[in-house]
Structure 1
Amino acid sequence: MAITYTDIHHAERPSVFSRFFAAIGHAYVAYANSRSRLPQIRALEAKSDEELAAMGVKRDEIARYVFRDVFYV
């Protein structure tokens, strides 16, 4: 018969490693938020169908057009 204990004690203060990885996570979130493409999507949605046609974009392809450099679809 085996007995297993799963009681894990955490230190009161975060370790150097957890602070390091938390800082990397916060930096990544800030970077991702700064590269948000929502304003570009909103601007294209505000255009008329004629303006979008002049750009060669259909209304249902706005997201694909905005993210064309990120995704190959």
Structure 2
Amino acid sequence: MAHAATYPDVYPKAGVFTRLNAWFFATMEKIAENNPRIRRVRKLEALSDAQLAALGIRRADIVHHVFRDAYYR
């Protein structure tokens, strides 16, 4: 004799608005991460303090340095 058991969906799918919201913010994050300025900030953050000093930049001033012409006038 065979027995069959069906189990309800243990992890119900998220609602439409939840998925749309997640998609929107993931897309905005991709756009922001592909910004050349953000990539420059990431490259400078990866440098050592000695390398930054050779460029004349303090670690605390990286964002200010990269965005100086856009936000800091």
Given the two structures, how large is their TM-score scaled by the length of structure 1? 0.46
Given the two structures, how large is their TM-score scaled by the length of structure 2? 0.46
